[in-house]
Amino acid sequence: MNNILSKISHPKQLRALDTTQLTALAYEMREFILDTLSVKPGHLGASLGVVELTIALHYYYNTPEDLLIWDVGHQSYPHKILTGRQQLFDSLRQKNGISGFPSRTESEFDTFGTGHSSTSVSAIVGMATADKINQINRKHIAIIGDASITSGMSLEALNHLGSTDLDVLIILNDNNIGIDDSVGGLKKYFKSLENQTENIFTNFGLNFIGTIYGHNFEELFSAFDKANSIKGPKVLHIKTIKGKGYDLAEIDQVKWHAPGLFNKLTGEISQSKSSTTYQDIFGETLLDLLKNNSKIVAITPAMLTGSSLIKSRNQFSDRVIDVGIAEQHAVTFAAGLATQNTIPYCVIYSTFLQRAYDQVIHDVALQNLPVVFCIDRAGFVGTDGATHHGIFDISFLREVPNMIVSSPRNEKDFRNLLYTAQFTKQPFAIRYPKNEIPLIPDSTYEKIEIGKSEIIFEGNKLAILSTGLISSRIEKIINQNNLQDKIALINFPFIKPLDESRLKAISLKYDTILTFEDGIKKGGFGSAVLEFLNSIHYKGNTTINGYPDEFIEHASIKELEEMVGLDDLSILQMILNYL
């Protein structure tokens, strides 16, 4: 029974408690989080690790008047529970439920959206500067993890902050891990911070407090008192344990970052996954490529596990390199590799590649360097929501000169694209979703022709042009409804360059053309098709189908497809309407 927690719907009620009650509250909160996330999957370990810190911050500071930012937002669950969302917590990451990350539209306590890491220092410096201009006196606190603070953007912001007199407190929540183990020189440096009078932060011009144990309320409140007595910007270094309070999560922190469904008492994790995903095939194929070509190097910005690189890293530790949360560096590092007779495969989530767009253009494409971009989580990702849906990559890559853009519809396509990419002499992007992959087993690899499309059906009434996984879905819909004679289905593994000779032939034969893609419609595959058809003065009707011009919130992938009219039933009805 959550006797204390159940009575808190606002931090004002938390502040009415005696400090002697806070340890019991922390225990109740951990049990509440475990009870909920065991049946409603989410990010477990990071939130368990900041329970005492969250309670202490809302107890000590006058939130929401005082401004608080959580970076990265994985660790914001206790914050949400204490700020009016306890009764909504079982809707976490579900359709029409609360977000898994801080969201300004969800609560006044969520002062800044932090679905991606390393933005908090820049944002809090901006807020504090605005308050100075507007003569508003309040506290500004950013909590940032040891993996996030090493990002270039965080260091840029710390450099700026150190030149100011702003009343900003940066809390470095140091648990020695991100999703995978933390990497880099600063990881080792943070271990030696305790009792140092001079360190990297004081050299930046910041006051330094620490190191303290982040699961002890007395130490936390004493540190906050000290911070308040110091004028200007300061850094508080606290040590915490990811997964704190749940033994299994403390022992295997990578596994319990986001474990899915699990039995709270036994720790047994539900093994519901029986299908093969794009990520599975990617991991197997890349391992094959590494074995057969010693020039291939894989780079990831802190996504070894999510990108299925663990087996490859274990066998080729010198050629599978995790650079940490440093997407810009990852891309330019890959560019540097490409200049010196190696073949870099930059393995990166679609929304993380957004963070390195200038590097893609300036450092890779402008110099026409053969970097292979393996773009994971393209399309809808489901319950992580708008911050993680990979809906823009077709549009923002298609306009870059020299860039090849591709998308596989099934296992055979995917393996052959990954195999072919090593032989090209220009940037080569392969985008793929977080989905089950249609299996087409084949032990051989084929070097495929760049820019070539594939006819799946040659019906005579309607032409459907599609790219990626949705091609296989439409193929299945046509087969199930015996529409093979009426519909021409052409799959385009290559979005750029387009198979223009095929498009010209289609334009001469069909009066109606539909395009389908799992990306935003503006500037995407359908736009590319329409641009070409307009250039040859096509007189027929063309309809582009993809994602709308808006940010789309969290739900299951199936629910999201229904929301935008790209579920199987909606696609079938659309096809029938044109026949």
Q: Report the catalytic residues.
A: 242, 327, 355
Beta-sheet strands, E only, within 369-478 = 372-376, 404-406, 428-431, 454-458, 462-466
- Alpha-helical segments (H) within 429-541: 469-480, 500-509, 525-535
Instruction: Name 174's bridge partners.
Output: 239
Contact between 404 and 494 under an 8 Å Cβ cutoff? The reply is: yes
Sign of CA pseudo-dihedral 274, 277, 283, 284:
positive
Rounded CA-CA distance 552/560 in Å is 8
How many CA within 13 A on the CB side of residue 360? 28
Distance between first and last Cα of the chain = 60
Rounded CA-CA distance 241/180 in Å is 14
Q: Token pair of 85, please?
A: 């969302």
C-beta atoms surrounding 535 within 10 Å:
10
Rounded CA-CA distance 410/433 in Å is 11
| 516 closest CA partner among 539, 491, 534, 494 | 491
What is the DSSP code (8-state) at residue 268?
P
Respond yes or no on whether the N-terminal peptide bond of residue 211 is cis (omega within 30° of 0). Answer: yes
> Given strand 140-145, what is the order of strands in its sheet?
67-71, 140-145, 168-174, 234-239, 207-213
- Tell me how far the alpha carbon of residue 124 is from its chain's centroid: 22
Question: Locate tokens 């500067």: which residue?
Answer: 129
User: 218: Cβ–Cβ under 8 A, 6 or more apart, which residues?
Assistant: none
Sign of CA pseudo-dihedral 18, 239, 170, 30:
negative
> Given strand 487-491, what is the order of strands in its sheet?
454-458, 487-491, 462-466, 512-520, 541-547
| 168 closest CA partner among 129, 110, 211 | 129
Rounded CA-CA distance 4/32 in Å is 12
Q: Token pair of 181, please?
A: 């183990």
Torsion angle in degrees (nearest 10) through CA of 324, 328, 329, 335: 130
Rounded CA-CA distance 104/43 in Å is 20
Rounded CA-CA distance 345/343 in Å is 7
Kindly calculate the radius of gyration of the chain based on its CA atoms and give it in whole angstroms.
26
DSSP reduced 3-state for 125: helix
